[in-house]
Amino acid sequence: MNITSLTLLCLTAFAVQVQASSSDAWEGYNKEVLAGCTQASTLKKVTPVGAPAQFDDRVGYTAILLQGQYPQKHMKGRYGTELCLYNKQTKAAYVTEWDSIRPAGKAQ
């Protein structure tokens, strides 16, 4: 094996390791976002709707849609939807009701 082949083999192995840790890092970050948004939610039995939307670093936020049940007795267990914005720098989650995005009714 010549030096060029050895260098190429090493670089390929390094690239595979970087990619694997990168996907692990994204998975960990997405779990962090979901945990922060779930904690900030006002709904019960909160679940994400789809995957988080990763905005460019210039924006500084990740968005995720959540669904769950309203906890207030007068809401009679009705399902609702919230939009959560997660600040990448401060790791703070902010939620707002967003029922207009989906028809009212049971969780889908």
Q: Is 64 within the bounds of a domain?
A: yes
From first to last of its 108 residues, the chain has per-residue pLDDT tens of 555 443 444 434 444 444 456 888 989 999 999 999 999 999 999 999 999 999 998 999 999 999 999 999 999 999 999 999 999 999 999 999 999 886 655 555
Q: Which two tokens stand for residue 60?
A: 């500084």
Residue 64 bridge partners (DSSP): 84
What is d(CA 41, CA 44) in angstroms, rounded to the nearest whole number?
Answer: 8
Domain range holding 59? 3-101
Q: What is the pLDDT of residue 101?
A: 83
Cα separation, 68 vs 55, whole angstroms = 24
Q: Is 67 a member of any domain?
A: yes
pLDDT value of position 103: 61
Q: Is residue 57 in a domain?
A: yes
Residue 108 is assigned to a structural domain of this protein: no
pLDDT at 105: 55
Q: How many domains does the chain have?
A: 1
- Domain presence at residue 107: no
Distance CA 28, CA 104 (A): 32
How wide is the angle at C-alpha 84 spanned by C-alphas 39 and 58, nearest 5°?
Answer: 120
Whether 106 is in a domain gets the answer no
Q: In a 3-state reduction of DSSP, which class is residue 10?
A: helix
